[in-house]
Amino acid sequence: MRYFKFNKLVRDKIVDDMGNYNIIPYGIKVLNDKEYIKELSRKIIEEAKELNNISSIEDLKEELADVQEVIDCLKKVLKMNNKDIEKYQKKKIKKFGAFKKRTYIEYVGSEQDNKWINYYLENPDKYPEIKNK
């Protein structure tokens, strides 16, 4: 028999579907709220990464639906509704704006250290420093 590591939250019908293909899932458990929130947070990243692999608008719509499914589950376990989400959304928009202007930045630079330069340096995976500019 061949085994493959999973270690992830799966949709409700996946285990049944595995049986149709003679796949045996091991280590099945029901997550408590804390574990569920953690795994939903991981799942939203997984689903969002799949947006990078889209080849059509239809694929984009399907992947967006997957992201929304995870958001809906998070809202439910966190006891949030759309008004709650809008409250947090408005707070962020007020402070930083939205994405409606479609502004895209290739890179930034500064000759002075400041809170943002320090933030970029502390997050090199997200903001790799360009050495030869």
Domain residue ranges in the chain? 14-96
Fold for 14-96, please state it.
Helix Hairpins (1.10.287)
State phi, psi for 105 to the nearest 5 degrees.
-115, 125
Read off the pLDDT of residues 11-67 as tens digits, 9 standing for 90 and up: 999 999 999 999 999 999 999 999 999 999 999 999 999 999 899 999 999 999 999
pLDDT at residue number 133: 65
pLDDT > 90 in the chain, percent: 83
Task: Place 131 in a pLDDT band, splitting at 50, 70 and 90.
Answer: confident
Specify the higher pLDDT residue, 40 or 108.
Answer: 40
* Tokens standing for residue 95: 């402070």
Burial 75-97 (b: 16+ CB within 10 A, else e): eeeeeeeeeeeeeeeeeeeeeee
